[in-house]
Structure formats: C-alpha cells, structure tokens
Structure 1
Amino acid sequence: MAKDEDRGVMIANAIGCAVLALKFSGGRISEYMLSEKLEEMRRNETNVIGKGVYRDAAELVRKGRSPVA
C-alpha cells in the first residue's frame, strides 16, 4: 500500500511541476499541452523510475484514469 501511495504522490508532483512549467513559460494549459509537457519531461529524465512516473502521469492526463492498478 505504501508503494502505491508513494507512486501516486510522485505522479501528482509530476503533474504539478508540468502545470507550473507551462504557467511560468506563458504556455496554454490544456490536457494536450500538459500531456506533451509531461512527455518532454520524461524524455529529459535519466532515472528509470522517473521516466515511468512521467509516462504514467501523461497517461492519467490523457485518459483520465491511473495506469497503476
């Protein structure tokens, strides 16, 4: 249970960071732009766990449901 909660917190943090990055860059905040920003952040991430978190966060934004069961 703790691992699922930790992953949920990491996904929420990733989405928050992407929203702030878009806000501060003057970019439009939409589902598409948020998903694209998360994918960009995933490509720039070097940590395997971080890449998975950004991928899951982007999927959550696109599909409206968490990929983590």
Structure 2
Amino acid sequence: MELDEERAMMITNAVGIAVLELRFLDELVTEYTISEKLEEMRRKETNVIGKEVCRDAAELVRTGRLPVA
C-alpha cells in the first residue's frame, strides 16, 4: 500500500499532537496512551477525513501498520 505524502503528513501530525497533549498533562507516553488519545481525538473530530486520519494513526501506533483499504 502506497501512502501519499499529504496523508502521511496528517497522520504524523495527529501522532505528534497526541504525544504533546499527553506530555502537557504529565501522563505516561506509551503506545497504549497514544492510541487512546488518538481515539479520543477521533471521537471529538467532526470532519470525516480527520476522523479517518486519527483512526489510521491509532492503528499505526497499535500495530505498526496501516489498515488495508
């Protein structure tokens, strides 16, 4: 599966935001907490593309691969 540059950038951004939010809240930064934060971000997101990006980012953190389309 080829990942276009724009989507890769959005996923990277989502993971970065999740990590920074965890750090600012003085929470542990682990694969589990990052994926949970991304799922929380997905639930709050109103944009369909944003929801997909957060879902894919959480899956990438959990498994190391993106979901197959």
Give the AA of the match of 2:49.
I
Q: Which ranges of structure 2 fall in alignment gaps of 5 or more residues?
A: none
Distance 2:68 2:49 in 1: 14
Question: For the structure 1 residues 11 and 68, does the alpha-carbon distance in structure 2 shift closer, same or farther, using more than 3 Å as the test?
Answer: farther
Superposed CA RMSD in Å reads: 1.5
Shift of 1:4: 1.3
Distance 2:43 2:66 in 1: 20
Q: Which runs of 4+ in 1 moved over 4 A?
A: none
1:11 paired residue number: 11
Q: Which ranges of structure 1 fall in alignment gaps of 5 or more residues?
A: none
The TM-score with structure 1 as length reference comes to 0.91
The TM-score with structure 2 as length reference comes to 0.91
Count of aligned residue pairs for this structure pair? 67
Alignment of 1:1-69 (within 5 A): 4-67=4-67
- List per-residue Cα deviations over 1:14-63 (Å, max 9, x = no partner): 00000000000001100000000000000000000000000000000000
Distance 1:39 1:24 in 2: 18
Shift of 1:68: 5.9
